[in-house]
C-alpha cells in the first residue's frame, strides 16, 4: 500500500503528554512524493537539475543569468528568509562585487579567481560597514537605511567616472582565460561559462547549507522567530544579525563578480535601487522559506522578462501584476505553495 | 544560607507612573520566594528590572554580591538569571525540541559556523533531559506554535531552564491553565525548586501558599509585607487590600 501515515490530535480530551491520536492513511500522488523528496534533499535535486538546466532553456546564456541571479537571491535570503531582515539595499553588495571584480581584472591582476575573491570580500566588507550602521534599527527603519546607503553608493559610482566609468558603465572587462593547475582554459563559450558559474553557485550552496545547519544557523532562526527571547537567552542578537548581513553581502558580492564576468561589463544600474527591488521580488516570488525558492523566483522572473522584453520594452507592466497576485494569493511563494499543496492534510 | 539576590530602593517610573517604588527585597539561596499583588502592582516590571530588560530609574540590584544594576540583559542572562514570561514568549515556528536546544546552546556558543548543531551531543542530551522534566518529550517534533496554551506555558519554563540559571523567575506560570494543568505545573515547580532558587509571581493563592518558603506582597509598586505563608495569611493589612478581607 502506498500511503502516508499522518497523526492528528483530536484535541479536547488531550491531557498530559499523551493525547488522543488518530491514525489515518492517505493516498499520495507521485508529484507529492516528488515534492517531499526534493524538500528533503534539496541540494541533490538542485545539483541534478542544474546539470540538465542549460539544455532545456531557450538559450544557454539565460541559464547562466538565472543561476547568477539565483545565487544573489540565495544570499539575499540569508537576510530575509533566515534572519528576518528586510533589506532594500542589496544592490550595494551586488554592485560593489561587480565593480570590484571588473576593476581588478582591468587594472590590477588578470586572474579570474582573484577577481571573484575580491568581489566576494568587498561585498562582505561593505556589508560589514553598512550593516554596523543599519543593524540597530528594525523593520521599516532598517529597510529605509539599507536603501539610503545603497543609493549613496549609487551616486558615488555615478560620480566617480575615472574608476567606474560613471553613466557609461565599466567597459572592456577582459575575457581572461581561466588558469587552473597551470592550464589556461577559455571559458567564454556559453556552455563552459555556465558550468564555470555553476561551480561557484554549487560551492556557495554547500557553504550556506552548512552554515544554516551550524549552531550559528540555528541562532539565526531563533532570532528571526523571536529576537527578544533570543536576547533573553543571552544571545547578542544584533551581532548575530550583523554577521548574517555580512554573509549575505559576501554572497551577493560574489554573484555581482560573476555577473561582471558574464557581461564583460558593469552597468551603473547594478548599484541602483531597481536591482535591490529585483532581488526582493525574485525571493518573494520563489518563496523565502527554502533553498530552492530563490532560484525558482530568479528563473521565473528572468524567463518572463526574457519572453516579454522581445514583445514590449514595458515588460514590467506584465510582470508587476504577476508579482502582486503572487504576494496576495501565494504568500509562501511558488515553491512554498507547491510544498503546502503537496503536504496539505485532508480535513 | 546566603543571599542570592538583593534589591535596594529599586524604583521604576514610566513617565508619571511609578510602577515599582523603593523596593528592598532579598532572596536567600535555595528559597522559593513568591511575589503577590493585584494586577498592575508592578510584579512583571520588577522582573524586567532584574533581568535587565528595563533600566531602573533608581536603586540597585545585587546578584551574588555583584552589582548588576546597569549590566545589559545578555550579560545578566549569562550570570545565571532566567525568566519564564507571563505572556508566552517562545520561538513559534521552530520545533519544541529546537526551542529548548537553542536555549541550551546559548551557554556555549553563538558564532560557530561550521560544525553541525545536531552533532553537539551535550546540547542534545540536556535538551532531552529538560523535555522530560517539562513532560513534552512526546511533542518534541511539533511546531511550537501548534501546541496548546498549556503546553506552550510549560515550554516557556523549559526555555528558561535550558539556560541553566542559578535564579529562575516565573511570571504567572499557571495563568490560563486548567486545574489539571495547574496541578502538573505545581509539581514541576516543586521539583525544580529542589535545586534552584526561584521567584514566583502567581495569582492563585492556593498555589502560592502551598509552594512558597516566603511571600512578598506588592501594592501599587510598593512593598506591603513580607513573611512566611502563615505570616502573610494572618496579616491584617494584606487581607484588607489584597485578599479582599477573605480569610484563606
Ligand atoms: N512599558 C511600559 N510603559 C508604560 N507603563 C507600563 C509599562 N509596563 C508596565 N507599565 C505599567 O506599570 C504598571 C505595572 O505593570 P506590571 O508590572 O505589568 O504589573 P503586574 O505584572 O503586577 O500586573 C501598570 O500600571 C502598567 O500599566
Ligand atoms: Mg504581570
User: Per-residue pLDDT averaged across B63-92, rounded?
Assistant: 92
pLDDT at A16: 33
User: Per-residue pLDDT averaged across A20-26, rounded?
Assistant: 47
**Backbone dihedral angles phi then psi of residue B74, each to the nearest 5 degrees:** -65, -40
DSSP symbols for A106-169: III---HHHHHHHHHHHHHHHHHHHHHHHTTS-HHHHHHHHHHHHHHHHHHHHH-HHHH-GGG-
- Nearest CA residue ID for atom 9, ligand 1: B45
pLDDT at A344: 67
Q: Which of A15, A229, A236 sits opposite B74 (nearest CB)?
A: A236
Residue A58 reports pLDDT greater than 90: no
CB contacts of B135 in chain A (<8 Å) are: 16-17
Q: Report the predicted TM-score, pTM, of the whole model to 2 decimal places.
A: 0.86
Mutation pick for ligand 1 pocket among B11, B43, B45 (CB with most ligand atoms within 8 Å)? B45
CB contact under 8 A, B138 and A236: no
Q: Where in chain A is the domain with CATH 1.10.3470?
A: 41-346
What digits encode the pLDDT tens for the residues B117-147?
787 888 899 999 999 999 999 998 999 999 9
Residue B50 reports pLDDT greater than 90: yes
Residue A293 reports pLDDT greater than 70: yes
pLDDT at B229: 86
B42 CA distance to ligand 2 centroid (A)?
A: 7
Q: Report residues whose beta carbon is within 6 angstroms of any ligand 1 atom.
A: B 14, 17, 19, 37, 39-45
CB contacts of A18 in chain B (<8 Å) are: 138
Residue A21 reports pLDDT greater than 80: no
**What is the end-to-end Cα distance of chain B in Å, rounded?**
30
- Nearest CA residue ID for atom 3, ligand 1: B14
Q: Near ion ligand 2, which residues have CB within 5 Å?
A: B 44, 86
- Helical H segments across A214-291, by residue range: 215-225, 227-232, 237-263, 273-286
Q: How many residues does chain B have?
A: 248
Nearest atom in ligand 1 to B15's CA? 4
Residue B34 reports pLDDT greater than 70: yes
Structure-model confidence comparison of residues A76 and A323, the more confident one: A76
Mean pLDDT, all residues of chain A: 84
What digits encode the pLDDT tens for the residues A155-207?
998 888 787 887 888 888 888 877 778 787 787 888 889 999 999 999 999 99
pLDDT at A11: 31
Structure-model confidence comparison of residues A139 and B213, the more confident one: B213
Residue A346 reports pLDDT greater than 70: no
Residue A114 reports pLDDT greater than 70: yes
Reply yes or no on domain A41-346 having CATH 1.10.3470.
yes
How large is the ipTM?
A: 0.90
Helix (H) or strand (E) holding B66, with range, is strand B66-67
Amino acid at each position: 500500500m502506498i500511503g502516508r501515515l499522518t497523526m492528528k490530535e483530536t484535541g479536547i480530551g488531550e491531557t498530559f503528554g499523551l493525547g488522543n491520536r488518530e491514525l489515518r492513511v492517505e493516498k499520495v500522488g507521485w508529484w507529492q512524493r516528488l515534492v517531499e523528496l526534493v524538500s528533503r534533499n534539496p541540494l541533490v535535486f538542485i545539483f541534478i537539475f542544474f546539470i540538465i538546466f542549460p539544455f532545456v532553456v531557450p538559450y544557454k546564456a539565460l541559464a547562466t543569468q538565472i543561476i547568477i541571479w539565483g545565487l544573489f537571491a540565495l544570499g539575499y535570503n540569508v537576510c530575509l528568509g533566515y534572519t528576518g531582515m528586510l533589506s532594500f539595499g542589496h544592490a550595494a553588495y551586488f554592485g560593489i562585487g561587480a565593480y570590484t571584480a571588473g576593476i581588478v581584472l582591468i587594472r590590477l591582476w588578470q586572474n579570474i579567481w582573484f577577481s571573484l575573491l575580491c568581489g566576494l570580500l568587498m561585498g562582505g566588507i561593505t556589508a560589514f560597514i553598512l550593516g554596523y550602521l543599519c543593524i540597530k534599527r528594525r523593520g521599516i527603519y532598517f529597510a529605509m537605511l539599507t536603501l539610503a546607503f545603497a543609493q549613496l553608493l549609487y551616486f558615488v559610482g555615478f560620480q566617480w567616472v575615472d574608476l567606474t566609468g560613471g553613466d557609461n558603465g565599466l567597459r572592456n572587462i577582459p575575457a581572461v582565460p581561466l588558469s587552473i593547475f597551470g592550464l589556461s582554459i577559455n571559458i567564454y563559450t556559453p556552455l563552459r561559462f555556465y558550468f564555470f558559474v555553476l561551480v561557484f553557485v554549487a560551492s556557495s550552496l554547500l557553504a550556506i547549507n552548512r552554515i544554516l545547519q551550524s549552531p550559528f544557523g540555528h541562532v539565526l532562526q531563533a532570532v528571526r522567530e523571536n529576537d527578544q527571547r533570543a536576547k533573553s537567552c543571552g544571545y547578542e542578537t544584533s551581532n548575530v544579525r550583523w554577521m548574517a548581513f555580512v554573509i549575505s553581502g559576501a554572497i551577493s558580492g560574489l554573484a555581482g563578480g560573476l555577473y561582471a564576468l558574464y557581461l564583460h561589463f558593469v552597468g551603473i544600474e547594478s548599484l541602483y535601487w531597481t536591482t535591490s527591488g529585483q532581488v526582493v521580488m525574485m525571493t518573494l516570488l520563489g518563496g523565502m522559506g527554502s533553498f530552492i525558492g530563490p532560484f525558482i523566483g530568479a528563473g521565473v522572473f528572468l524567463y518572463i522578462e526574457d519572453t516579454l522584453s522581445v514583445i514590449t520594452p514595458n515588460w514590467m507592466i506584465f510582470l508587476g501584476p504577476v508579482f502582486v497576485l503572487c504576494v496576495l494569493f501565494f504568500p509562501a511563494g511558488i515553491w512554498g505553495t507547491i510544498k503546502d499543496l503537496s503536504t496539505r492534510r485532508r480535513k | 544560607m546566603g543571599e542570592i539576590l538583593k534589591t535596594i530602593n529599586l524604583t521604576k517610573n514610566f513617565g508619571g507612573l511609578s510602577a515599582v517604588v523603593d523596593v528592598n527585597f532579598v532572596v536567600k539561596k535555595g528559597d522559593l520566594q513568591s511575589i503577590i499583588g493585584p494586577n498592575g502592582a508592578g510584579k512583571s516590571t520588577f522582573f524586567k528590572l532584574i533581568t535587565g530588560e528595563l533600566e531602573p530609574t533608581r536603586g540597585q540590584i545585587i546578584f551574588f554580591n555583584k552589582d548588576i544594576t546597569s549590566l545589559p540583559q545578555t550579560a545578566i542572562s549569562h550570570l545565571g538569571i532566567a525568566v519564564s514570561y507571563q505572556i508566552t514568549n517562545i520561538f513559534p515556528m521552530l520545533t519544541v525540541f529546537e526551542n529548548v536546544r537553542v536555549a541550551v546552546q546559548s551557554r556555549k556558543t553563538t558564532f560557530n559556523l561550521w560544525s553541525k548543531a545536531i552533532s553537539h551531543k551535550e546540547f542534545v542530551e540536556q535538551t532531552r533531559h529538560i523535555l522530560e522534566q517539562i513532560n513534552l518529550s512526546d511533542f518534541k517534533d511539533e511546531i511550537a506554535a501548534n501546541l496548546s496554551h498549556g503546553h506552550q506555558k510549560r515550554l516557556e519554563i523549559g526555555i528558561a531552564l535550558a539556560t541553566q540559571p542559578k535564579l529562575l523567575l516565573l511570571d504567572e506560570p499557571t495563568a490560563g491553565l486548567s486545574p489539571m494543568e495547574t496541578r502538573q505545573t505545581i509539581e514541576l515547580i516543586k521539583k525544580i525548586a529542589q535545586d534552584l532558587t526561584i521567584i514566583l509571581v502567581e495569582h492563585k493563592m492556593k498555589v502560592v501558599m502551598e509552594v512558597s518558603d516566603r511571600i512578598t506582597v506588592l501594592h501599587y509598586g510598593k512593598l506591603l509585607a513580607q513573611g512566611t505563608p502563615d505570616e502573610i495569611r494572618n496579616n491584617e493589612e494584606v487581607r484588607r487590600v489584597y485578599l479582599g478581607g477573605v480569610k484563606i
